[in-house]
Amino acid sequence: MRIHTFEKAFLGVGAVLLVLFAGALVYATAAMGVHLPGVAGNVDPARVYQTPPFNTPGVRQTGPGRYEAVIVAQAFGFNPSVIRVPANAQVTFTATTIDVIHGFAIDRTRMNMMLIPGQVSRNAYTFRERGEYLLVCHEYCGIGHHTMSARVIVE
Ligand code: CUA
């Protein structure tokens, strides 16, 4: 029957799309390195500044071409507010918040995390282009939310 043929055709289109989308997911994960940030650990929000690595916020080298940027968020700013990293090095951002939920998004990159009290957020990024990038809070966190930003300087 004619209807039957159409149904088969639509099922075929659906199957092809499913395979394409699954392939796109695998490509994004394996080839492009797109991951959910996940929970990288826990920290007592009342003792963040006494708990390593958050007792020394800032950028440090962890190996050849590898750096870690430790950042503490608080209404309404990031500590440190200027983050200097070299180009073409893998920078692991380790961040948390000492008060409410904040966002952590770096303009023109795929860096996009939520900072949740009690949890450590971690994600790595390699800046290929030198210049200044804006780090913004993109979770509404109070009256000064729109002023909450920092600068990432890639040199
Ligand atoms: Cu912090 Cu919005």
Closest Cα to atom 1 of ligand 1:
102
Integer Cα distance of 89 and 119 in angstroms: 26
Q: What's the gap in Å between 24 CA and the centre of ligand 1?
A: 32
Task: Count how many Cα atoms sit within 13 Å of the Cα of residue 70 in the half-sphere of its side chain.
Answer: 13
Other beta carbons within 10 Å of 59: 18
Which residues, including other chains, have CB under 8 Å from residue 125's CB and lie 6 or more apart? 90, 91, 93, 106, 109, 110, 111
Lookup: tokens for 13: 């289109």
Per-residue pLDDT of the chain (155 residues; tens, 9 = 90+): 567 888 889 999 999 999 999 999 999 888 887 776 556 789 999 999 999 999 999 999 999 999 999 999 999 999 999 999 999 999 999 999 999 999 999 999 999 999 999 999 999 999 999 999 999 999 999 999 999 999 999 99
Q: Which residues line ligand 1 (CB under 6 A)?
A: 76, 102-103, 137, 139-141, 145, 148
Whole-structure pTM over 0.85, yes or no? no
